[in-house]
Amino acid sequence: GAGVSQSPRYKVAKRGQDVALRCDPISGHVSLFWYQQALGQGPEFLTYFQNEAQLDKSGLPSDRFFAERPEGSVSTLKIQRTQQEDSAVYLCASSLPGRGQNSPLHFGNGTRLTVT
């Protein structure tokens, strides 16, 4: 399909395990965002890329979280030494270049991470 693709759809990790979440944005979308959504909450911003450049990582909750987009397309969000509070849905979104009304976000289905 032509939408944003995320994998895996579900991930169960034991506390202390490292995980890697993948996002494949819509082709041609320059901007890529990662969000964390806890149950009953709105998506919380984690980080933002424009092509391969990570322009904002102010939302990453700790240095255990790392994101990359080395070729300006696929992005990976890595969480090291997972903790129970990391359990959430991780949403990836992409948008066209430019700003404003012409750049709504298109979301993937998300990865539901459960840390046991």
Partner 1 sequence: RKEVEQDPGPFNVPEGATVAFNCTYSNSASQSFFWYRQDCRKEPKLLMSVYSSGNEDGRFTAQLNRASQYISLLIRDSKLSDSATYLCVVNDEGRDDKIIFGKGTRLHILP
Q: Is 100 in the site for partner 1 (CB under 8 A)?
A: yes
Nearer to partner 1 (CB atom), residue 58 or residue 84 = 58
Q: Is 27 in the site for partner 1 (CB under 8 A)?
A: no
Q: Is 25 in the site for partner 1 (CB under 8 A)?
A: no
**Which amino acid does the sequence have at 70?**
P
Q: Is 72 in the site for partner 1 (CB under 8 A)?
A: no
Task: For the CB of residue 85, give the shortest distance to partner 1 in the complex, in Å.
Answer: 18
Handedness of CA 105, 99, 42, 20 (dihedral sign): positive
SS3 string, 72-88, reads: CCCEEEEECCCCHHHCE
Instruction: Mark the segment that binds partner 1 (CB under 8 A) among 7-15, 21-29, 38-46, 68-76.
Output: 38-46
Cβ burial of 30 (10 Å; 0-12, 13-18, 19+) is middle
CA end-to-end span of the chain, whole Å?
33
Report d(CA 1, CA 31) in Å as an integer. Answer: 19
Q: Is 104 in the site for partner 1 (CB under 8 A)?
A: yes
Can you give the binding site for partner 1, defined by CB under 8 A? 31, 33, 35, 41-45, 48, 50, 55-56, 58, 91, 99-101, 103-110
